[in-house]
């Protein structure tokens, strides 16, 4: 069993990114999966910082370097262990780009034109580069390079994982089981999303997803926000008419979003929270949520301060991770090249 996922080093990583992806990664690093013969085994977990994806839109080079190290610090602060997982930077394993090019040769334009995220991002830009259009093929290469079984992602990335499966099927049909290949080259990965928390909404516009690209700093809580910033953002978060603290996403999207956040950070069910805050005001609920967030995000602030004092420790973890990842990537690429008839 192999698990792969990654986050772009762009914008500020917020609680939506953490709850939708990183939090479940931490649980997966210790999960034991049954395998054939009744024997259980821990999954191989590979978590990447996908910097090549971050350069598909205009960016600042110096900021990119800082953000790469910030994301690595977040992985470590969240509880991901470099001993239990492979943690590395995408661009340090060149096989990602090689496989992406080869997969581009079998991916129809129509499949890429249907991608929802491409349409949304392209609509916001005056000039759209080819990299943004080809983004899903690079993501497919990221996943297939490691013969991935499970891809833990947020709701918005499920379409990309489905395209990855289609690309893998197309490649296996065309190049697998031929005189040059004894069997299927790629495993077919499956997306894994959370039932609750796969999509955290904006604090200021609860009908929209919390986004790193949102220009309004009050719309999200980042993992490095100070206690004062957290209190201010939660205090001003959009709620709804009425006073009941009830989970009703359609009728009360604002308070429902805050209940979801509270539930996931406190490990209490939404029903238990509704009972606990029965008859209490939005102000009391928000004050309590602020305290929970301040407590739970403290390790991120502390870990960042610690790692800022010894940046070489992050560099070593990423370099070691890249070497481990490259061994797997090279084995896959040997199969790919052989099956395609390349020398």
CA-to-CA distance for 317 and 82, rounded, in angstroms?
Answer: 7
Instruction: Choose the catalytic residue: 212, 232, 246, 304.
Output: 212
Nearest CA-CA partner of 119 in 106, 107, 132, 131: 132
Active site residue 233: no
H-only helix segments in 105-242: 109-113, 116-123, 130-144, 158-175, 227-235
In this structure, what DSSP letter does residue 41 have? E
DSSP reduced 3-state for 201:
strand
- Cβ–Cβ under 8 Å, residues 144 and 164: yes
Active site residue 212: yes
Exposure class string for 76-87: b at 16+ Cβ within 10 A, else e: bbbbbebeebbb
Nearest CA-CA partner of 46 in 301, 322, 235: 322
CA-to-CA distance for 222 and 296, rounded, in angstroms?
Answer: 12
Residue with tokens 């490259």: 326
Instruction: Choose the catalytic residue: 84, 199, 209, 246.
Output: 209
Instruction: Choose the catalytic residue: 84, 121, 280, 296.
Output: 121
Q: Which residues are catalytic?
A: 121, 209, 212
């Amino acid at each position: 069993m192999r698990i792969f996922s990654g986050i772009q080093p762009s914008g500020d990583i917020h609680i939506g990114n953490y709850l939708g992806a990183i939090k479940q990664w931490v649980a997966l690093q210790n999960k034991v999966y049954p395998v054939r013969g009744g024997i259980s085994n821990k999954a191989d977990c590979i978590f990447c910082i996908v910097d090549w994806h971050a350069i598909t839109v205009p960016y600042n080079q110096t900021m990119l370097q800082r953000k790469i190290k910030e994301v690595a610090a977040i992985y470590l602060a969240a509880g991901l262990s470099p001993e239990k997982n492979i943690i590395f930077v995408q661009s340090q394993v060149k096989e990602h780009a090689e496989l992406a090019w080869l997969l581009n040769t079998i991916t129809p334009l129509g499949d890429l034109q249907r991608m929802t995220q491409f349409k949304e991002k392209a609509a916001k830009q005056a000039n759209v580069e080819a990299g943004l259009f080809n983004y899903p093929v690079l993501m497919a290469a990221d996943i297939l390079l490691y013969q991935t079984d499970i891809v833990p992602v947020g709701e918005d990335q499920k379409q990309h994982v489905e395209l990855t499966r289609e690309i893998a099927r197309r490649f296996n049909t065309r190049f697998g089981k031929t005189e040059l290949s004894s069997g299927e080259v790629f495993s077919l990965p499956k997306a894994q999303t959370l039932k609750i928390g796969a999509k955290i909404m904006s604090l200021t516009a609860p009908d929209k997803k919390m986004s790193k690209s949102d220009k309004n700093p009050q719309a999200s809580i980042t993992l490095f926000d100070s206690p004062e910033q957290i209190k201010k953002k939660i205090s001003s978060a959009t709620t709804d008419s009425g006073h009941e603290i009830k989970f009703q996403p359609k009728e009360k999207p604002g308070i429902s979003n805050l209940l979801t956040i509270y539930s996931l950070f406190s490990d209490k069910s939404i029903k238990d929270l509704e009972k606990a805050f029965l008859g209490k005001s939005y102000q009391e609920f928000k004050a309590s949520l602020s305290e929970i967030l301040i407590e739970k995000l403290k390790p991120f602030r502390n870990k960042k301060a610690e790692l800022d004092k010894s940046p070489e420790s992050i560099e070593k973890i990423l370099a070691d991770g890249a070497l481990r990842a490259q061994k797997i990537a090279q084995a896959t690429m040997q199969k790919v090249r052989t099956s395609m008839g390349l020398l």
